[in-house]
Amino acid sequence: MTAPSLLPQLVDSHCHLDFPDFAGQEGELIARAKAAGVTRMVTICTRMKNEPRVRAIAEAHDGVFYAGGTHPMYAAEEPLVTVDELIALAQHPKFVGIGETGLDYHYTAESAAVQAESLRIHIAAARETGLPLIIHSRDADDDMARILTEEHRNGAYGCVMHCYTSGPELAKAALDLGFYLSMSGIAAFPRSTEIREIFLNAPRERILVETDAPYLAPPPYRGKRNEPAYVVHTARIGAEALGLSEAEFAALTSANFDRLFSKAAL
């Protein structure tokens, strides 16, 4: 049996430990993750009213950091966050990213205008704080590429395209801006050849790995509740796709995470 200290050290760059699926189980989940070699994780706040709960989870556990913003699917339901509010949150030592924000035209296309307004607010906060922007994009490739590019001309900022499942054109636009792509359990599905091809063609120094737990569990847990420990299964497929050993993939994605999420760096 491999000693835990010899396991590849991975980072789950995006999960949701405050979601009801995990209520009262956060400690167990984090312990299982660490036993699997997942030493750090970023838990993401998707509604600003939930920020105190997400912050409390990060404060209570070593190796757990957090980010905050308004998910695009909730942009029309919640008061628009302000740049100043996000800047204030960024003063917390464990607050390491802005978002998740973005555009979702799959479920909430009717609120496209307010989603775009919210996205630009988050971009301004990322630019001001120097913290990376965390982007959710679904069925909105053209508008997403346009807004990210327009805003980048107004001033540089760091960014990760979380759970990247969009097309090669948006990937190229994001990579051309110096952004990162994050691989989720979807990339480990057998039929996700095109997604794996995007990561294969991306600069290796711009690849992260995540769970998006409790969603998108990779095989062999597909269709079940995801959790941070399962990032090892996505990492295994990612390593295979890139022609790396699991240890090399873990070291690569951890170094990339440290570069982008510098507040959470070892």
- 106 annotated ligand binder: no
Please give the structure tokens belonging to residue 50: 């939930």
Upper half-sphere CA count for residue 17 (Cβ side, 13 Å): 33
User: Is 100 known as a binding-site position?
Assistant: yes
Residue 139 among known ligand-binding residues: no
136 is in an annotated binding site: yes
pTM value is 0.96
CA 91 to chain centre: 20
Residue 92 assigned as binding residue: no
Cα distances (angstroms) measured from residue 150 to each of 10, 158, 251: 34, 14, 33
pLDDT tens, per residue, the chain with 266 residues: 344 457 899 999 999 999 999 999 999 999 999 999 999 999 999 999 999 999 999 999 999 999 999 999 999 999 999 999 999 999 999 999 999 999 999 999 999 999 999 999 999 999 999 999 999 999 999 999 999 999 999 999 999 999 999 999 999 999 999 999 999 999 999 999 999 999 999 999 999 999 999 999 999 999 999 999 999 999 999 999 999 999 999 999 999 999 999 999 98
Angle between helices 246-260 and 231-242 (to 10 degrees): 110
Is 61 known to sit in a ligand binding site? no
Q: Are 225 and 20 in contact (CB under 8 A)?
A: no
Residue type at 138? R
d(CA 5, CA 18) in angstroms, rounded, equals: 28
Q: Which domains does the chain have, with CATH numbers?
A: 8-224+233-264 (3.20.20.140)
